[in-house]
Amino acid sequence: MKRFASIMVPAVIVGGIFLSCSGGPPVFKLGGVGPVTGEAATFGASTKQGIEMAVAEWNVQGGVLGKQIRLAFADDKGDPAEGATVYTKLIQQDGVSAIVGTVMSKVSLAGAPICQSYKIPMISTASTNPKVTDVGDYIFRACFIDPFQGTVGAAFSYSDLQAKTAAVIFDVGNDYPKGLAEFFRTKFTELGGSVVAFEGHATGTTDFKAQLTKMVRAEPDVIYCSDYYNDVALIARQARELGFKGPMVGGDGWDSPELTKIGGAAVEGTFFTNHYSKDDIRPIVKDFVAKFKAKYNADPDALAALAYDATYIMLNAVKTAGTADGAAIKNALASTDLEVVSGRVKFDANRNPVKSAVIIEIKGGEQVYRTTVYP
């Protein structure tokens, strides 16, 4: 017995030393970022689920570079300052080799310069403002951009809804709604329509009556609102209270189960452009929706789909690069050609994928797929 103990003790010590020197078995460290709390918290919850599901699938298949993938996920709270803090922490403290995220353009715009300066490849899941990838050659995204999204919204309003006049409302303190409102206005005007009101509101307001009164008085055929779902739901309710009965149209920021919960009857018969529809019949979509439902007991929204896709795109690039070196990964990313849930992804010279958009209608409190628009 004594002898047995004396053999065991060194073995335990050696094991302990081994673990403390190497930090455990070798892993590939991946960062993930999303707004799990804050003004649009459903975006972060879905994003985290999408990234975690993709990482779990890769790990079952053996991980990447012969290592298991260890995900460090951080909540950016929908706030640019917090975003800068967590991107820095992921890189400096957690030692991640690549980052998937984040969602809101204004927060990606805070994280991207940090990734660029550390030469850590970043793929935003859902930030559609064009400026995000302009930050530099380490910055990619998994989604289309707002000049396209605004064009699709304008053409749908003008041609399908036969709207000749539009009133636009948006958050002036947020890059995404502000940019999208401007892209919509440009295209709608170009098509021959006229924008009869163009109203900014401050971030965080809940009373939009001043702007909406002006807008409703101008008797627009359509109201275009480029905000996130929380604001959209309140704007729709207040617009209806002021007597507006026409259709409303918006962008991907509408995609949340909260839109119909808060908006109720006011959002019935409204439309928004989005990245994907769970009702798409492509096998890859059906498979994703089924797996997601089995894991989380909910339908995946576009945020979850894009997060899942972005993770696949990044891990695929790591695999192609054959190394965790940032420069090699970003070169592999640039030559991506991959079929993912939200479409086929190939990057243009500005690291933006050229992808189709879908138009969703709110009907009976549900999101109903209406059509797909190709670039």
Which residues are at the interface with ligand PHE (CB under 6 A)? 43, 103-105, 126-129, 176, 252-253, 255, 302-303
Distance CA 188, CA 193 (A): 5
Nearest approach, Cβ of residue 170 and ligand PHE (Å) = 12
Total Cβ atoms within 10 A of residue 1: 5
Closest to 196 (Cα-Cα) out of 178, 169, 172:
169
Task: Decide whether 115 or 126 has the Cβ nearer to ligand PHE.
Answer: 126
Query: Dihedrals φ, ψ of 365, to 5°?
Result: 75, 5
Task: Decide whether 40 or 65 has the Cβ nearer to ligand PHE.
Answer: 40
Task: Decide whether 58 or 87 has the Cβ nearer to ligand PHE.
Answer: 87
- Give whole-number Cα distances, 116 to 126, 133, 140, in Å: 18, 10, 11
Nearest approach, Cβ of residue 126 and ligand PHE (Å) = 3
Nearest approach, Cβ of residue 293 and ligand PHE (Å) = 19
Task: Decide whether 54 or 329 has the Cβ nearer to ligand PHE.
Answer: 54
Nearest approach, Cβ of residue 245 and ligand PHE (Å) = 27
Nearest approach, Cβ of residue 275 and ligand PHE (Å) = 6
Task: Decide whether 46 or 97 has the Cβ nearer to ligand PHE.
Answer: 46
Total Cβ atoms within 10 A of residue 18: 10
Q: Can you spell out the DSSP letters for 90-109?
A: HHHTS--SEEE--SSHHHHH
| 8 A C-beta contact, residue 209 and residue 242 | yes
Contacts of 335 by beta carbon, 8 Å cutoff, 6+ apart: 320
| 8 A C-beta contact, residue 363 and residue 269 | yes
As a 3-state breakdown, the chain gives helix, strand, coil percent values, each rounded to 5, of 50, 20, 30
Nearest approach, Cβ of residue 331 and ligand PHE (Å) = 26
Q: Could you tell me if residue 297 is left (phi over 0), alpha (psi between -120 and 50 degrees) or otherwise beta?
A: left
Task: Decide whether 111 or 253 has the Cβ nearer to ligand PHE.
Answer: 253
Query: Dihedrals φ, ψ of 311, to 5°?
Result: -65, -45
**41-60 and 302-321 are packed helices; what angle lies between their axes, rounded to 10 degrees?**
40
Nearest approach, Cβ of residue 300 and ligand PHE (Å) = 12
Nearest approach, Cβ of residue 95 and ligand PHE (Å) = 28
- Residue that is written with structure tokens 């403002």 in the block: 129
Task: Decide whether 97 or 270 has the Cβ nearer to ligand PHE.
Answer: 270
Task: Decide whether 274 or 336 has the Cβ nearer to ligand PHE.
Answer: 274
Task: Decide whether 102 or 316 has the Cβ nearer to ligand PHE.
Answer: 102
- Residue 29 CA, chain-centre distance (Å), reads 21
Number of alpha helices (DSSP H) and beta strands (DSSP E) in the chain? 13, 14
Nearest approach, Cβ of residue 317 and ligand PHE (Å) = 22
Task: Decide whether 133 or 157 has the Cβ nearer to ligand PHE.
Answer: 133
Q: Could you tell me if residue 196 is left (phi over 0), alpha (psi between -120 and 50 degrees) or otherwise beta?
A: alpha
Nearest approach, Cβ of residue 108 and ligand PHE (Å) = 7
